């Protein structure tokens, strides 16, 4: 490595390598993941500052305290309220073909469909009716025409998100509005 002509090659290849490593999980999930459908909550209109996208909220983002594993609840006392904790959310398919939360655990499930998420430690655990979990599926980008159409239809009709899941990684692929 005493040859100075290799140094620029090494310096410029490191950022490219980092970008490839960061892009690999979403690309691999899109190529090989299982397709599931998740019911969304009401859809927000597009934002002029951020372009043509639709902000989404999912029913699986709000879980009941009874669905959270006891090992996670015991950590609530030692963590600052409002902090986020990495969790795995096991999903189960309902009779209508949509997926809903089965349970939340800090251990990676050995089988079945599950998502990685960040659980928000509630401020008032004793009186909490729901606990919030983030999955990173907040925005769906679409063309300007499609985003406007979705905005109109979604305010009147329920929508379903089509996502690909593999080993807890999730990629939003489509929105279906009934």
Please check the confidence at residue 15 and state whether its pLDDT lies above 70.
yes
Start-to-end CA span in the chain (Å): 62
* pLDDT category of residue 116 using cuts at 50, 70 and 90: very high
Most distant pair of Cα atoms in the chain: their distance? 67
Q: What is the DSSP letter of 137?
A: -
Contact (Cβ atoms closer than 8 angstroms) between residue 39 and residue 80: no
Helix (H, G, I), strand (E, B) or coil at 4: coil
Q: How far apart are CA 31 and CA 12, in angstroms?
A: 28
Compute the mean pLDDT over every residue in the chain, rounded to the nearest whole number.
81
Helix (H, G, I), strand (E, B) or coil at 34: strand
Q: How far apart are CA 32 and CA 25, in angstroms?
A: 10
Please check the confidence at residue 62 and state whether its pLDDT lies above 80.
yes
How far is Cα of residue 163 from the mean position of the Cα atoms in its chain? Answer: 9
Selected residue with higher pLDDT from 12 and 55: 12
């Amino acid at each position: 490595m005493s040859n100075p002509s290799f140094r620029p090659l090494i310096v410029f290849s490191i950022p490219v390598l980092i970008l490839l490593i960061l892009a690999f999980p979403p690309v691999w999930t899109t190529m090989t993941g299982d397709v599931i459908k998740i019911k969304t909550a009401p859809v927000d209109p597009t934002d002029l500052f951020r372009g043509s996208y639709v902000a989404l909220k999912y029913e699986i983002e709000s879980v009941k305290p009874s669905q959270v594993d006891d090992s996670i609840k015991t950590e609530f006392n030692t963590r600052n309220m409002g902090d986020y904790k990495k969790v795995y959310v096991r999903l189960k398919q309902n009779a209508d073909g949509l997926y809903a939360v089965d349970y939340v655990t800090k251990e990676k499930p050995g089988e079945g469909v599950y998502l990685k998420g960040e659980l928000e430690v509630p401020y008032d655990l004793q009186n909490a009716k729901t606990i919030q979990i983030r999955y990173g599926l907040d925005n769906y980008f679409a063309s300007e025409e499609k985003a406007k159409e979705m905005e109109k239809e979604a305010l009147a009709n329920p929508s379903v998100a089509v996502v690909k899941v593999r080993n807890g990684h999730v990629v939003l692929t489509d929105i279906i509005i009934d």
